[in-house]
Amino acid sequence: MLYPSIDELTAKAESKYILVTVASKRARQLRENSEMQVVRPKSKKFVGVALEEFISDELVHEFLDGRK
């Protein structure tokens, strides 16, 4: 079983697109030697760690509506 599950992740994010965007940006930061915000991640990969940060509320995003 994968952790975190897609159901838990989509419940926290407004859409799958936002989830993918936030996770990919954070994974890129982790790859470039940014400090992890979870103590003992279950995942060894950067995207998995980013998703674990998102589900544990360590990683938050702000939605800005740029439409006029």
pLDDT of residue 39: 83
> Does 17 map to a domain?
yes
Instruction: Give the rounded distance of the alpha carbon of 26 from its chain centre.
Output: 7
> Does 1 map to a domain?
no
Give per-residue pLDDT as tens, 19-60.
Answer: 899 999 999 999 998 888 888 888 889 999 999 999 888 877
> Does 27 map to a domain?
yes
pLDDT of residue 12: 84
Task: Give the type of residue at 32.
Answer: E
Number of domains in the chain: 1
Domain range for 32 is 6-56
> Does 62 map to a domain?
no
Torsion of CA 45, 38, 52, 22, to 10 degrees: -90
CA atoms of 58 and 52, how far apart (whole Å): 9
Q: What is the mean pLDDT of residues 1-22?
A: 83
> Does 39 map to a domain?
yes
CA atoms of 67 and 38, how far apart (whole Å): 34
Residue 7: pLDDT over 70: yes
